[in-house]
Amino acid sequence: MRINKISSQPNFQAVNQKYFDWAKKDFARGNNVSTEWIDRLEFDVFLFKTISIKDGIDTINAVKKYMNKASWGINDLLNRFIEQL
């Protein structure tokens, strides 16, 4: 019997590069993303609809990979995105 190893790395399909790069800059200054980052991502998904909900979820999950401990703000936004699917 052959057992295939399952990768522990998440498979992100559509990470928004603009927000991912912005988050990396925020991490260079501190250990979290800025509140402006959270607000702008929320606006682009819910208000302007320039980013799909699925892309927003993938972006947050990719960014959380770099965080030591995710803030309540980013977790709250992720939960709101998931509720809208």
Going by the DSSP 8-state scheme, the letter that residue 51 receives in this structure is S
* C-alpha span between 16 and 58 (Å, rounded): 8
Give the highest mean pLDDT range of 27-31, 69-73, 78-82: 78-82
* C-alpha span between 82 and 85 (Å, rounded): 5
Place of tokens 């927003």: 56
Q: What is the pLDDT of residue 68?
A: 77
Band the pLDDT of 11: cuts 50, 70, 90.
low
- Spell out the SS3 assignment of 21-43: HHHHHHHHHCCCCCHHHHHHHHH
Strand ranges (DSSP E) for 30-83?
none
Q: Is the pLDDT of residue 13 over 80?
A: no
CA nearest 56: which of 27, 84, 28? Answer: 84
What digits encode the pLDDT tens for the residues 45-77? 999 999 999 999 999 999 998 887 878 899 999
